[in-house]
Amino acid sequence: MASARPHRARRLDRRERRVESVAAAAFLVVAAAMPLALGSSRAFAPVLAGALVAVHAIASRVRLYVGAGYVMPTQLVLIPMLFLLPVVSVPLVVAAGLVAAAGFDVVRGRAHPERVVTGIADAWHAIGSSLVIMLAGQPGAGAVTWQVIALALLAQSGLDVLTAIAREWFGRRIRPTLHAGSLAMAPLIDASLTPVAILAASAAAARPTSVVVVVPLLGLLAALSADRRHRIEDAARRLEALRAEEARLDRAISRIGQTFASKLNSTALVELALRTAAEACRADRGRAAIGERVIQIGRSDKRLDRALFAAREAVEAQGHGCGASCGEAFALGHPLPDGTVLTIARSGEPFSEDDQRRFGSLVRQLGVAIENAALHERLQQQATTDELTGLANHRRFEERLRHEVRRSRRSGRPVSLVMLDIDDFKGVNDTYGHQQGDRVLREVGTAVRRACRSTDLPARYGGEELAVILPDTDLDGACVAAEAIRRAVDALELPLADGGRLGVTVSVGVGAVTAGGDAGSLIAAADAALYDAKRAGKNRVVRAGGRGRFNQRSPEAGRETAPAVPRAIEDGAGAAAAARG
């Protein structure tokens, strides 16, 4: 008897219940019609029939798992039924044994009552062998020929396979190839058990109670079945563990992607390392302190927090990774090269040596990653910062200006540019030397940076020329900002080697993005205004556009924080025609 049901019981869906109900009803009709249509010379013995039903129920509970299903050794009981009972009653007796086995599970709460219906449908195989024995004249176990036995086995197996394929196909849409293993093994097991069953039937012909001799064999098969089931369950648990490990690996890969997305930020790296360590070591909580910032993951628990604190103190005292415990809370700690200590903790189970090894390896890799992050930040700083003034370099200036101009086009918000040049800078170098010239550039850069908002970008444009990008600032607001910058520079007094002091001034040009303008046209407009400021006498602010003299407006006019009233703001829009001083 074969079944392609899963090893674990489950509820049938609506389609399966419909198919199984039809198969069970059709079986009952055929099995009930056989005694009415076909006679039998044997008398029906209720006690013997009851005993055979009980033994058949026992055999039905022994499941030899094969492939996607299992095979039941009911052949040991079916053969004696064919030679001890009226053959026409055998299918109904077999169904009664299957129903009794299913009913036992239903009573114990291990199966749904619908399994009684499937038990009846599983009895179709008995009709095939019963019909062959009837056509052979209902011989006894001692008089039956092997040809009749072989024909009965063939009819039994054929009807069993056909009904199983039909039920699985119509009920679950499972192709026969998916459970071919169990379908093929059923006839082989039935054939191997048939000789033993015939011997039991021969013994029972003289003494009916002898049929119980098959029970020890069923016990042996049950033991083998239990061992097989345990092996299957163990393999299933291992598979589940592998799937859980695969899920953990997927999460670790996801965190690696987050690390790449974190732009190599050391704080983000530490947090990701804590989460990965907690996942790898099955920890409930993690903690790390970076400067004044404390990073914590997992649920808050006083015992775990005490264990984390103890682990950190142990690491700080010993200088290397170690563990600590606080009652039923256990913790691991490991230091980074900069002195930061990472700690993880969990309840109920100490960390193993493998956990300590994994955690230490992860923290060491984290130390390398943080060093790389710091190096990356330094390189990025060097790539975008002017070394002398500390302002953005020309490359960073151009990237930011293009970005702000594109943003202005999309949003319609203004953006302005201030260009300034140190007056008479060549004379400073010629008179006081290049070291003093460098000092002037540094001090002017500092003054410009202090006069800017956090959203502005001051940059060294080239040589002694500086620039400031002013997002969300119109031309009038940019002129106010430019005058604040000019005054901040004008207030500088730099000490000289001979005890004197050097004053510094700048000429400033201001431009703003116009309709259809781009970064190049904005630079050209501000640069042209700068030249006009030089020609007009230096140490002044000139705006691009030629709209007449600029008057100081209220702070709300395009700039949140306005400086004092400008001293000399001229208009100008001429092309760059004069050399700068």
**464 counts as catalytic:** yes
Tokens representing residue 324 in the block: 């600590």
How far is 62 from 492, CA to CA, in rounded Å?
99
Question: Which residues have a Cβ under 8 Å from the Cβ of 338 and sit 6 or more positions away?
Answer: 367, 370
Tokens representing residue 558 in the block: 């395009």
How far is 535 from 545, CA to CA, in rounded Å?
16
Amino acid letter at 189?
Answer: I
SS3 133: helix
How far is 102 from 63, CA to CA, in rounded Å?
13
Instruction: Check if the beta carbon of residue 502 is closer than 8 Å to that of residue 450.
Output: no
How far is 241 from 230, CA to CA, in rounded Å?
16
SS3 424: coil
How far is 106 from 102, CA to CA, in rounded Å?
6
Q: In the 8-state DSSP scheme, what is residue 124?
A: G
Instruction: Check if the beta carbon of residue 392 is closer than 8 Å to that of residue 400.
Output: yes
Which alpha helices (H) appear in 451-518, and where do they start and end?
Answer: 475-490
Instruction: Check if the beta carbon of residue 522 is closer than 8 Å to that of residue 404.
Output: no
Q: Nearest-5° angle of CA 104, CA 67, CA 240? A: 85
Tokens representing residue 67 in the block: 């492939």
Of 72, 114, 130, the closest CA to residue 97 belongs to 72
Of 180, 119, 181, 125, the closest CA to residue 152 belongs to 125
SS3 326: strand
How far is 570 from 541, CA to CA, in rounded Å?
6
Q: How many CB atoms lie within 10 A of CB 10?
A: 10
Instruction: Check if the beta carbon of residue 509 is closer than 8 Å to that of residue 532.
Output: yes
The DSSP-derived string for 534-561 is: HHTTSSSEEETT--S------TTTT-SS
Alpha-carbon Rg for the chain, nearest whole angstrom, is 46
Report phi then psi at 321, rounded to 5: -65, 140
SS3 127: helix
Catalytic residue among 20, 404, 464, 465: 464
SS3 413: coil
How far is 564 from 423, CA to CA, in rounded Å?
22
Of 350, 354, 373, the closest CA to residue 362 belongs to 354
Q: Nearest-5° angle of CA 125, CA 126, CA 128? A: 70
- Catalytically active residues are 464
